[in-house]
Structure 1
Amino acid sequence: MAGIGHIDTPGSDASGQEFLVFTLGSEEYGIDILKVQEIRSYETVTRISSAPDFIKGVTNLRGVIVPIVDLRLKFRLGNVRYDHQTVVIILNVAGRVVGIVVDGVSDVLTLTGDAIKPAPEFGVSISTEHLTGLGTIDGRMLVLIDIERLMTSAEMALVEAELA
């Protein structure tokens, strides 16, 4: 498997929180950079017969079996294609390694608290319980996903949710 790159995660400070920005269709999304382990090119995975369509299968990443979720299918975006832009973001969530397939990764942005607004109750393709909010920077709007909450949700059945 050819790796695209490793993400340095210096952490966020009082001046803002860092988000990895990726695209799904025509929308830009952001996830907490501290959850990101690396970014890889998309490669064929081993399909699991009883898994939902959005779980593409599993792959072996340096000896670790990693489930791969296609967020484009999960969010019911039409016309899902796999090409040279398609990437897998490898995440560490709730002590588990999981990969998400996205159309592409554009950059890392730092958003301050006043640049993040509460999520609306309508008009997005993801349940608002999995959203951190909407971020705005330089005229761009990012849908900010609580990727840990999404990956540990019962519908995903990928990661055991921590019992409080």
Structure 2
Amino acid sequence: MAVETAEGYVKVIVFQLKDEEYAIEVDDVQSIEKMQAVTRIPGVEPYIIGVMNLRGVITPVMDLRKRFELESRPYDEATRILVLKRDNSDIGFIVDGANDVMDIAASNIEPTPEVVGGVAEEYLRGVIKLEERLFTLLHIDKILNKQDDKQRSGM
């Protein structure tokens, strides 16, 4: 499941998409950026909206709303790009907002239930319960895996 610290805690960044809260482990996130200019590129998956120049590094940008097949909305002042480092390259995830960094006890992370509204279950690593809040821990490798798309669409 998640990588635990020596104290049995997982440090996560909590962000919003639509009316839901999601979490990604801090170790996966290189930076959180304000929305900036993105250059569109032809012939890519519809959820890849283009590339941005982030401090001299050309970084592909994925709209997580589109990836999860949620309705789109205009970007605003709260919109953020979570820049992740995967396999020696960067990728940006556009989210509605990101403002919490939390230490979550591993005991608060439960397996994903069979029925989850909105986001396909294979993208989720678990559900985090914290007092009155409930949010899902995302499985980054599955979100980035194009092969899953082809299998789902029957190609």
Q: Tell me the TM-score normalized by structure 2.
A: 0.86
1:155 CA displacement: 4.8
1:59 paired with 2:37, answer no
Q: Give distance in 2, aligned partners of 1:156 and 1:31.
A: 21
**SS state at 2:147 partner:** coil
| 1:160 equivalent in structure 2 | none
Counterpart pick for 2:22 among 18, 26, 29: 29
1:44 partner amino acid: A
Counterpart pick for 1:108 among 95, 98, 101: 101
1:95 paired with 2:71, answer no
Percent identity (aligned): 33
Summarize deviations over 1:68-118 as a string: whole Å, max 9, x none.
000011112224211111010110122220000000002011111210111
Deviates more, 1:43-52 or 1:125-134: 125-134
Number of aligned residues: 147
| 1:13 equivalent in structure 2 | 6
What pairs with 1:1-164 in structure 2 (closer than 5 Å)? 12-155=5-148
The alpha-carbon distance between structure 1 residues 156 and 33, as it changes in their structure 2 partners (threshold 3 A), is farther
Deviates more, 1:12-21 or 1:28-37: 12-21
Q: Give distance in 2, aligned partners of 1:131 and 1:95.
A: 23
Conserved? CA contact 2:68–2:120, under 8 Å: no
1:154 CA displacement: 2.4
Give 1 or 2: higher helix fraction: 2
Q: Give distance in 2, aligned partners of 1:73 and 1:134.
A: 22
Q: Give distance in 1, aligned partners of 2:47 and 2:60.
A: 11
| 2:153 equivalent in structure 1 | none
The alpha-carbon distance between structure 1 residues 114 and 104, as it changes in their structure 2 partners (threshold 3 A), is same
Unaligned runs of 5+ in 2: 151-155
RMSD: 1.9
**SS state at 2:43 partner:** coil
| 1:7 equivalent in structure 2 | none
Q: Give distance in 1, aligned partners of 2:148 and 2:101.
A: 28
Q: Tell me the TM-score normalized by structure 1.
A: 0.82
